[in-house]
Every structure is written in structure tokens, then in C-alpha cells.
Structure 1
Amino acid sequence: MGSRVPRQRGVGVYDKPPLGHADLVARMQDRGLVIPDVGRAERYVRSIGYYRLSPYMIPFRRAGSDDFRSGVGFDDVLDLYVFDRKLRLLVLDAVERVEVAVRSALTDHMAQAHGAFWYADPTHFRDVRRHRDFVTTVHDDCARQLLAKPEQTDGALMHRSALEHYLMTYGTPELPPSWIVMERLTLGQVERLIGNLKRRADRTAIAKSLGINEPLLVSWMRTFVRVRNICAHHGRLWNAVLGVSPALPTSPSVTWLADPTAIAHSPARRARLYPVLVALQSLLSTLSPGSSWAQRLKALIDEHPGVPLVAMGVKSGEVVYLPSAETVRVTPGQGPSRA
């Protein structure tokens, strides 16, 4: 937190009683939400949770009021919730692919340029304290593995982890080679490790293998970590205020929108999801040229026309895709087919 001064706490007393599912559905009806099938609504409230569902009601309310706009139905709210859930899964799929590729690029370059144990050498890092803390986490991981019950194997069906194999086979060096360590890091740890590399030439080489440049790599990784955490914790993604935004490419060598003005340039709007979706499309177009991810994103948005896309940071309210999203026609409920 540094020297940041905490905000003043409120002074009110919370005395709202907990309500049952039927009462919560009745409250929504009292506020003007059209619910043709009360029993069905109660089942959804039970399985989802009212306070997880309630933020998806906000776009459908009258300004400055808890009451819903005329004609808004329960299915409108549910459709937005379902869209966001599918969007999280789709984004998590893309982030996973990018994460795997970044780990590989980091390991390949640094190991070939500086040896298998480069991560243990402080001369490769800008912030020595942060590097020391990182090496401590690797030591701790190895210690936990040694304290744990030996991993059980079952012939070809189950093999020991790479770390277990190294620790049970070798005594020197004490720590395992980088390609074992990198696979055990979180995305956040990978992002911080790349950001702490001392030589820009190393960061540039890693970025180049991914089809982008060094400033984009550092910026986009920071944003992907934030988005991945939202997805992993089932948070609202569609209208999330990320607090960080991916840098926009200035080089024509980086795949990007033909019309970059489609992305809002105000800081508040830039820190929304849409620029991240474009950045993921850009990376996947290089890492996996045959990927249908962009087409699946387009199909998802087309299937939910009632979603207010401006909240994603789309400047005009109309999503603009990379060209790869337009090369395949996707019919809702069916797989992609060549246009």
C-alpha cells in the first residue's frame, strides 16, 4: 500500500435481514422486473446466488433508481450473466494459450543465452531484492516437495512430476533447471520475472518470438494477469474496470485493428476489456494462425445482441475485430465453417 492514506469508513449501521429465495424474487418483481415463471427464477437465484446475479441487473435499471426500466425481464438479466460466464471461459482459454507460449519463449531464450540456471543469477535482474524473494520461493517449493508424501506412479498412466524426479535424482545443483521452475510459476510470477529482467535485449528477444515488441510484452502481460485473476475467481469480466490497460501498438509489424480509433482513448475507457480482447486476438494470430478463437468471440457476441458493449470499452458500441475474425462464418450452435 505504500504511503497511501485509507479512505474514511462509513458511519452507518447495516441492519438488513437476510432474505429467502422467494422473497428475493418478489423484491425483483416489486422493482418492476418481468418474471413469467417465478419458480424458474427462484431456481436460478438458488443456484447462482442473488448477490452474484444482482450486478447484472444494474444496466437494466432506471437511472438513479433500484427500479427496472419498463419491459425488462428476468431473461434479460440472465442472458447478460450467461454471456459473461461464457466470455470468462473464452478469455481464460486464450490467456492459457498465451501463458504457455510466454513461458516457452522465456525459457528458450534465457536458457540458451545464459544457461539452464539463469534465474538464480542476480546479475540478470534489475531489482536484486525482488530477485532474492523469487529465488526464496523456488527454495520453498523444493522444500515442500521434499516434505510431501512421495508421488505415486502407475506405469504409463501416471509419472512423477519433473520437480519430484529432479529432487529424487540429483543433488547438485541444489535448485532445478529453469525449464522445470518456469512450469511451476503462476502467470503473475512469470510477468514479474520478465519485468525484472535487467537487459532490454533479453525482453526484446522474448517479445519478438511472440510477434510483438518489448513494451507491448511488458504491458500486455500485466493486463493479462489482471484479467486471468478475474476469470479464475468467477468475477464480472464484461464490464470490469481493470485498473490497467494494454499499450496500443505503434509498429505496423504488430497485428492490430485496421481502424485503431475503434478503441476508446480515454484512460477510463481504455482500462476496460475490449483492448485486451484485441491484444489476445493479435497474439493468437501469431502463435496459432489457424485458431478459431476470434471467430468464437464474434459468435458469442452475435448470440447475445442485448449486451451493452460500451461497458467493455468499445468506442462506438460496435465491436471491430481483427481480419481473422471475419474469415470464418460461425452460425450460433454450430461450429465454424469457411466463408
Structure 2
Amino acid sequence: MKRATTIPEQIKLLTSRGVKINDNAKAEENLLDIGYYRLGFYFFPFEKSYPNIKNRTHDVRENTCFEDAVTLYYFDYDLRNTLSKYISRIEVAFRTYLTYKLSNKYKGDTCWFVNPSVVEQSFINDFSDKCYKEVKRNNNIKQHHKKYKHDTYAPAWKTLEHMTLGSVLLLYKSLIKTDDRLLVAKHFGVNQTTIFENYIETVRCVRNVCAHSAVLYDVRLHQLVKKGPAGKVAQDEAYSLCGAIKVIAYLIGTISLNRQHDFVLELNRAYTTLKNKSIYLTQTVEQITHMKWELSDIALLESKK
């Protein structure tokens, strides 16, 4: 069984694997700040056995510096902060539009999300235990039920606000009428519900990675990004961060072209910081993400034509 190690022991181990450490004091500071285990994910691309995850030796290629992994970590950190901010905008817009349009379409039923003529029965069957139990923990929902004691559920505009993105997406997929799903998808410029579901699932996957502060630069999506209005996605991009960024950039553009421009600027800023630190690192990131990072919002708009 492996045992915990001290910072000096961790530095000695890294050195034995070929990592060059130019400043021991700074390395100790980084290891206490980031953690040896977490930083190991950022040494992975520099290992001789990369990308083979099985039978890893952990020995690194010649001239690999401790600072390389730290720089990659902070690039990932910047990406995570940027993506989190814009994904939140997409999530709110999706939730808001779905709630607004269907609540007004089904004005006679404030709880249309459990109406068997609107939503599939399987969703309704699971809703109370798998979704609303968590929603009811919110203070706003608690206050609603104190005031309206006979309501089984709070109305849609309250309930959906406190559902997870995954639950809102499942609700969307469970809408019986294609017209209801198209009503939302077309608002975001997508004419096929399967493509729209794929886009939101892509957003959800990246959101969860960001929310758990997990490694982002080499994220592997649960499903490939489908071809649609976000532009062409090459085979090597379909499961990667590159494909996800194309989807996020597209959806942000349907909400606000100004925010799409800001999104691209922030991505470029993170890339430029990395590029200024190390060309070698830049090439490594481009190979992993399958992405040409010098983007422009004009190029993104052109890609959709």
C-alpha cells in the first residue's frame, strides 16, 4: 500500500523521474498550493509513455521542467474560469427560455412539467424522488410550500430555476411534442432537436468538469459533438475541448455577439499567456486539444455558414 509523502520526498521523487527543478523553494510552495496528486495530471503530457495511461512509468522526457506542469495547470485554471462564466450564461438562457415559452403555452397548468400530455410519463414517475426532493431543499421553494400548503409542486418558473442543468435537459428531452422542443431549439438557431440536445449535453459535460475543478485541457467528452450550426467538427475534435469550445462559442453568439467576442478575447488571452511562457508548451497543448487557439469571433461566425 502506498503511503503519504512529505514535500521533500515528493521533490526527490520528481527529480528521480527526470523532472528539472530550478527553484526548490518555489516548487515546495507550488506543491503545497496545488498538491502533488493534482499536479501529476499536468505532468502526464510530458511523460515518456504519454498518451498511454496503462503501465505508466512516470518518467518524463528530457528537459522537462517542474515549471512546465505548473504553467499548464494555470492555463487550465484560466480556461476553467472563462468557460464557467460563459457556460453559466448559456445555462441561464436555456432554462429561462424553456420556462418562459412553455409556461405561456400551457397557461392553464403552472406545473406543466408533470403533465402527462406534455411530458413523458417516465420523467413524471421519477420527478418527485429524483429531482424535486433536492429542489425542495431550497429556501425559496420551502417558503412557497409554507404559503401554499396544498401545492404538490411549486410552479414551473420557481421549480425549474432550482433544477440542475442535467434535470432541465432531461425535461427538455422528455417533452412529448417535437414542436415544443423545436420552439426552444430554434431560439438558439438550431433546427434539429437532436443537435440541440447534443449541444446542451456538451455544455453540461464541460460545466461539470469546471464545477469539480477537474482537468480541462484534455477533457474527453461523453459523446461526440455532432455537426450543426456551430460549424464543422473534425474527427479528432469531436470528443475534445476543441469541439466543446466551438459549441460554447456558437451558443454564446446566439445570446449576444458582444459576449461571444468577449469569450474569444479571454480564450486568446489565456493562450497568449501560455505562448509567452513556452513555445514547447504551446505546441503540446495544441496537439492535445486539437485546436488552433488564435481565434476570432469573425472566424467563428464564418464557420457557421
Q: Shorter-chain TM-score: which interval?
A: 0.7 to 0.9
Query: Are 2:123 and 1:130 equivalent residues in the alignment?
Result: yes
Distance in 2 of aligned mates of 1:144 and 1:77: 41
Distance in 2 of aligned mates of 1:278 and 1:142: 32
Q: Which residue of structure 2 lines up, in the alignment, with residue 276 of structure 1?
A: 244
Q: Tell me, what secondary structure is at the counterpart of 2:82?
A: helix
Query: Are 2:34 and 1:19 equivalent residues in the alignment?
Result: no
* Residues 62 and 324 (structure 1), Cα distance of their counterparts in 2 relative to 1, 3 Å cut: same
Q: Which residue of structure 1 lines up, in the alignment, with residue 278 of structure 2?
A: none
Q: Tell me, what secondary structure is at the counterpart of 2:266?
A: helix
**Structure 1 residues without counterparts, runs of 5 or longer:** 1-14, 146-160, 328-339
Higher share in helix: 2
Query: Are 2:217 and 1:243 equivalent residues in the alignment?
Result: no
Equivalent pair of 1:294/1:325 in contact (CA under 8 Å): no
Q: Which residue of structure 2 lines up, in the alignment, with residue 310 of structure 1?
A: 287
Query: Are 2:290 and 1:319 equivalent residues in the alignment?
Result: no
Distance in 1 of aligned mates of 2:125 and 2:296: 41
Trace 1:1-339 onto structure 2 (pairs within 5 A).
Answer: 15-63=1-49, 65-115=57-107, 116-126=110-120, 128-137=121-130, 140-141=133-134, 144=137, 162-213=140-191, 214-249=193-228, 254=229, 256-257=230-231, 260=232, 263-266=233-236, 269-291=237-259, 292-305=262-275, 306-307=281-282, 308-314=285-291, 318-319=292-293, 321=295, 323-324=297-298
Deviations 1:285-333 (Å, cap 9, x if unpaired)? 110221111211122122212242221233xxx2363534799xxxxxx
Equivalent pair of 2:249/2:300 in contact (CA under 8 Å): no
* Residues 69 and 120 (structure 1), Cα distance of their counterparts in 2 relative to 1, 3 Å cut: same
Distance in 2 of aligned mates of 1:232 and 1:142: 19
Distance in 2 of aligned mates of 1:287 and 1:142: 27
Partner AA of 1:245 in structure 2: L
Distance in 2 of aligned mates of 1:212 and 1:243: 21
* Residues 143 and 88 (structure 1), Cα distance of their counterparts in 2 relative to 1, 3 Å cut: closer
Equivalent pair of 1:245/1:271 in contact (CA under 8 Å): yes
* Residues 67 and 92 (structure 1), Cα distance of their counterparts in 2 relative to 1, 3 Å cut: same
1:23 to partner: Cα distance: 0.9
Partner AA of 1:298 in structure 2: N
Equivalent pair of 2:119/2:176 in contact (CA under 8 Å): yes
* Residues 66 and 135 (structure 1), Cα distance of their counterparts in 2 relative to 1, 3 Å cut: closer
Equivalent pair of 1:285/1:324 in contact (CA under 8 Å): no
* Residues 139 and 57 (structure 1), Cα distance of their counterparts in 2 relative to 1, 3 Å cut: closer
Please give the root-mean-square deviation of Cα atoms over the aligned residues, in Å.
2.3
Partner AA of 2:274 in structure 1: H
Q: TM-score under structure 1 normalisation?
A: 0.77
Q: Tell me, what secondary structure is at the counterpart of 1:62?
A: coil
Q: Aligned residues, how many?
A: 283
Distance in 2 of aligned mates of 1:229 and 1:191: 14
Distance in 1 of aligned mates of 2:59 and 2:129: 54
Q: Tell me, what secondary structure is at the counterpart of 1:290?
A: helix
**Structure 2 residues without counterparts, runs of 5 or longer:** 51-56, 276-280
1:110 to partner: Cα distance: 0.8
Question: Identity across aligned pairs (percent)?
Answer: 25
Distance in 2 of aligned mates of 1:72 and 1:25: 14
Equivalent pair of 2:136/2:142 in contact (CA under 8 Å): no
Distance in 2 of aligned mates of 1:63 and 1:18: 25
